[in-house]
Amino acid sequence: MSGTSDRVRGGWISRFRQGVMLLAEGFSFLRAQRRLWVLALVPVLFALVGVVSAVGLFWAHLEAIQQIFAGMFPVLEATHWWTWIWVAPGKALFWGLRWLAVGVSFAVSLVAGLLVANLASAPFLDRLSQRVEDVVLGARGPSADEAPSLLAETLRSFAAEFLRMSFLAALWLSLSVLGFLLPGVHLVTGPLLVATTILFLPLDYTGFALDRRGVPFGSRRRWLWSELPTMVGFGGVAFVACLIPGFNLLVLPSLVTAGTLLVLRAHPDEASERV
């Protein structure tokens, strides 16, 4: 496994490709480190609960969701036979957009379910991130005399993840309210929901390693923009992985592992120096 010497470098396409490959690297890293499997099992169990809950809630409210989006589009009626020339394509377009909006909502709900699982398993993911870093850097694992600090570390990781989740929830709520209140804006807020989620996911999965380093939010934001191709590649793959049935139950530990590797390769302070 490559270490900190393998920096994120190259042009836009090269850095985007490196971001795309991060998840595969995280998965390969965990597969090779069997001693981390037990630690990675708990987040997988939480992911199972999160995904099943998200799918169940969405399915239970599917009819109401369809009605909400149906009310956002105009109803076209053919007053004469020749008006079907433009009414038929319009109906097909609005039908497609309506179901696209439902699909985006389902995708966001799946990601939300995994992020809730991320919150519930934050202490375990934080410890997993620390162990990954220890393996890469060749550091010594935690000793018995460090046990009294476990409670403090658990509370810290949980609180930090809760703040990140609250930030994303506020963004989602703001975009959703705008889409409901302003006619036609939902055609923009839908893609924005996906885009903001893709950009948020790298910050979330690198968050455990960045929290241990005490990196402030401003530095993380600048890091996101300075490494944008890598972040888009990583976030895009993470978003798609969250939508794949079965695989989304196993991917959470690999994403945190990949995020930790990214921090080791391109620390926010180093990125700021390159800007």
pLDDT tens for residues 32-75?
999 999 889 999 999 999 999 999 999 999 888 888 877 777 77
The proportion of the chain whose per-residue pLDDT surpasses 70, expressed as a percent, equals: 85
Rounded Cα distance between 46 and 256, Å, is 14
pLDDT at 257: 96
Residue 82 has pLDDT above 50, yes or no: yes
Alpha helix ranges (H) inside 33-121: 37-60, 62-70, 84-120
Mean pLDDT throughout 190-197?
86
In the chain, % of residues over pLDDT 90: 31
Instruction: Give Cα 94 distance to the centre of its chain.
Output: 29
Residue 28 confidence (pLDDT): 95
Question: Domain spans of the chain?
Answer: 14-59+97-140+147-274
Quote the pTM value.
Answer: 0.77
pLDDT confidence of residue 272: 44
Q: What angle do CA 214, 217, 218 make, to 5 degrees?
A: 115
